[in-house]
Amino acid sequence: MQRRQFITLGLIGAAAGITGASALWLSQGNDPRLLNLNSLKAKLNVMLALPSEQLASLSTGDWNSAQVFSHCAQSVEFSMSGFPQHKSAVFKHSVGALAFAAFATKGAMTHNLSEAIPAAPALDPNVDVKQALTRLLNSVTDFEQYQGPLAPHFAYGELNKADYELAHVLHFYNHLDTFSAFS
C-alpha cells in the first residue's frame, strides 16, 4: 500500500471512530422532559423530605452532600450576581461554547465533580445539610423569578435564561452521579 493510501485510510478510520463514539456519547443523555427547573425542584423537595442523616450520607464523592448542594447553589447565585473569576475570552468563545453546546445536545453534562468554581468561597464541609439544600432550592426559586441581566458564565460565556436553566439542571444532575440513591 502506498503511503498516501495508508494515511487516507487511517484518517477515514479515525473519522469514523470519532463519529461513532460521538454518536454513542450523545445518545446517553437524560430524559429531555426532566431538564427543567420544575423537575429539579421536585427532586430537591424529595431530598429535603429525607432525614438529615440519610441526606448527609448520600454523596459518595470527594465532597459531602452539603458541599455539593452549596456548590450548586453558588453556581445558580453567580449566574445572577456574577462569577468571581472567568476563563479567558478565547476559552469561553471556543472550548467553553463548544462544551456547552455538546452538553445541551446530549442533555447531560460531565465535569470534574470535585472542582470548585474558580475563586468562589470555600465549601464548608460542616454546614448543615438541610441548610445547604434549602439554600440550593431557594437559589433555584430566585433564579426562576429573576428579571435582571444574567452574568456571563465563567466558562461558557453569555447564556440566555433558557440556556442557564439547562446548565443549572445539567450541573446538578451531573453531581447526582455521586449520590448513591439518586443517580
Closest CA to 145 of 120, 165, 131: 165
Which residues have C-beta within 8 Å of that of residue 44, sequence separation ≥ 6? 133, 136, 137, 140
What is residue 34's predicted lDDT score, i.e. its pLDDT? 81
What is residue 182's predicted lDDT score, i.e. its pLDDT? 63
The fraction of the chain above a pLDDT of 90, given in percent, is 79
Q: Across residues 122-142, what is the average pLDDT?
A: 98
State pLDDT tens for residues 63-79: 999 999 999 999 999 99
Cell 420544575 sits on residue: 38
CB distance 45 to 137 below 8 Å = yes
pLDDT tier for residue 121 given thresholds of 50, 70 and 90: very high
**48 exposure class (CB count in 10 Å sphere: 0-12, 13-18, 19+):** middle
Q: Across residues 119-146, what is the average pLDDT?
A: 98
Within 13 Å, how many C-alpha atoms sit on residue 6's CB side? 3
Q: Across residues 133-162, what is the average pLDDT?
A: 98
Domain ranges of the chain: 1-30, 32-178
State pLDDT tens for residues 76-120: 999 999 999 999 999 999 999 999 999 999 999 999 999 999 999
**Cα separation, 30 vs 119, whole angstroms:** 30
